[in-house]
Structures are given as structure tokens and as C-alpha cells.
Amino acid sequence: MTHSVTQQLTLALSKGRIFEETLPLLQAAGITVNEDPETSRKLILGTNDPSVRVIIIRASDVPTYVQYGAADFGVAGKDVLLEHGGEGLYQPIDLNIAKCRMSVAAPADFDYLTAVRQGARLRIATKYLLTAREHFAAKGVHVDLIKLYGSMELAPLVGLSDAIVDLVSTGSTLRANNLVEVEHIMDISSRLVVNQAALKLKRERLQPILDAFERASQRISA
Ligand code: PRT
Ligand code: MG
């Protein structure tokens, strides 16, 4: 029997921090991307390996492309994976990249702890409905959640909400908008996600890359 043709692999990434922080991991697997998504308008990027290509999509769309097998594997934040639910995805590695935390933040003059203690009903604006709902339900805090798609920091400044649930890394966005972190919900980092069928059918091709990613991400976190 002749050997099967080289298996094609498609990797889903979002541009910005995930693309940039995945590059050293790809390098460790011997893969270099031919174009920079910040300057190229192409959505499919070639690599030095003709059997590997990278697709550039919105961060929150990465789990969907991988779930349906339009990409074999991808990199997505834990925040995004929690909202997606992770259906159809194998999540073998915490890559320890694009780290931040998910927090509750409120205007400096809003007494969040007292409001919570008194059982007030809080209005919370967020992109992370499921995570926020679970967090407040576990604490027994009554909330009205308002779904936003970005710039959550604005919501309490213009009276849309009392507080927000958002990602924080340096804290400078909160500071610039006179908001303070009042509760830490969880630490966030990005995970490798793999399509479950691809993991079986393309294991031979995928496994060395997964191994290289794992070793390189352990070096990053060390
Ligand atoms: O931007 P877009 O709407 O396309 O999608 P996205 O915001 O989900 O994508 P992107 O590329 O901005 O983020 C991709 C992933 O990076 C997220 O899913 C997180 O897992 C991770 N990550 C790490 C962050 C941050 N750090 C981060 N600081 N994602 C967003 N932020 C934002 C945060 O929402 C806030 O507005 O940066 C701002 C706060 O930053 P500091 O440094 O001022 O605290
Ligand atoms: Mg963003």
C-alpha cells in the first residue's frame, strides 16, 4: 500500500496578541508564517511548510471553526472557550500565553461590597454572559446582565450599568476610566484547541506539533 498524501493542517488564530504570542510556539515546531496579518489583508496565510496554513479570524470565532473542522486546531482564550462551551473540542494544552484575569470592576465611588452585602440587584455589563451569570449565581448575588460586544469600561460611566465583568491585564484601561477592580473571578490564559475528528485522523501529523507547543509553553511559564 502506498503512503497517504501529506495531511493538510489548518490552524485558526486571531490577530493581535494571540497571533504574536503563538509565533514562538510555531517556531518551536519549525513553522514560520509567510505573512504578517497586521499588514496583509489575506485571511489565509501560508507557512514555510506547504502542508500547514493559518487562517485569521475573530478571537471568539476560533472555537467555532475548530468545532466544525474548518480548522484542525486553534488557539483561544479561556474566556472565549467558557462562553463557547467547548463542544467538539479537545483541549490538551494550556499554552500560558495572552494571560490576564477576569474581574468585576466598578466606578471608584460605587460601594460594591456594601451593595452586595445588602442584597441589592446589580446591573452588570459584560461580553461574558455565561461566566458572569455563573459567578454571581454562586455568590447568591442578584444581577441583571447586559450583553455588550466591547468597550465595557464605558458602561458604568454613562449609567448603563453599576459594574462590569471584563478582562484586565495591566489595569491601565480601568485606571484611565476611573474604575477599580472589586473582585477577581479567575485567571485567564490561552489554550490549544483541537478538532476531535482531526485528532484521530491526523494524529501522526498533529502530535509532533502539539508536543513542540507543549514543551515551548512550559519554557514560557518557567
Ligand atoms: O478585539 P476583538 O473584539 O476582535 O476580540 P477580543 O477582544 O476577544 O480579541 P483580542 O485579540 O483582543 O483578545 C484575544 C484574547 O486575548 C482574549 O480572548 C483573552 O483571552 C486574551 N487577553 C489577554 C486579553 C487581554 N489580555 C486584555 N487585556 N483580551 C482583552 N484584553 C482587553 C480587555 O478586555 C480590556 O479592554 O484589554 C483591556 C484591558 O487591558 P489593560 O492592560 O489596560 O488592563
Ligand atoms: Mg480586543
How far does residue 46's CA lie from ligand 1's centre (Å)?
A: 26
CATH number at residue 181: 3.40.190.10
Q: Kindly report the protein residue whose alpha carbon is nearest to atom 29 of ligand 1.
A: 167
* pLDDT digit string, tens, across residues 31-46: 999 999 999 999 999 9
* pLDDT digit string, tens, across residues 42-96: 999 999 999 999 999 999 999 999 999 999 999 999 999 999 999 999 998 999 9
By residue range, what is the domain housing residue 90? 5-99+188-221
Query: What's the whole-model pTM score?
Result: 0.95
Strands 179-195 and 89-107: antiparallel
pLDDT of residue 1: 46
pLDDT of residue 103: 98
Ligand 1 pocket, residue 58 CB under 6 Å: yes
How many folded domains does the chain comprise?
2
Q: Kindly report the protein residue whose alpha carbon is nearest to atom 9 of ligand 1.
A: 59
Burial level of 32, CB count in 10 A (0-12/13-18/19+)?
A: exposed
Residues 168 and 124 in one domain: yes
Ligand 1 pocket, residue 172 CB under 6 Å: yes
Residues 49 and 87 in one domain: yes
Residues 112 and 176 in one domain: yes
Ligand 1 pocket, residue 38 CB under 6 Å: no
Q: Kindly report the protein residue whose alpha carbon is nearest to atom 6 of ligand 1.
A: 59
- Ligand 1: which atom is nearest the Cα of residue 173? 43
Ligand 1 pocket, residue 100 CB under 6 Å: yes
Q: Which residues pair with 103 in a beta bridge?
A: 166, 184
**12-22 mean pLDDT:** 98
**175-184 mean pLDDT:** 98
Q: Kindly report the protein residue whose alpha carbon is nearest to atom 34 of ligand 1.
A: 167
Where does the pLDDT of residue 6 fall: very low under 50, low under 70, confident under 90, or very high at 90 and above? Answer: confident
* pLDDT digit string, tens, across residues 109-159: 999 999 999 999 999 999 999 999 999 999 999 999 999 999 999 999 999
DSSP 79: H
- What is the C-alpha to C-alpha distance for residues 163 and 149, in angstroms, rounded to an integer? 15
Spatial CA neighbour of 56 closest among 30, 82, 22, 90? 22
Residues 9 and 95 in one domain: yes
**Cβ–Cβ under 8 Å, residues 53 and 11:** yes
Burial level of 170, CB count in 10 A (0-12/13-18/19+)?
A: exposed
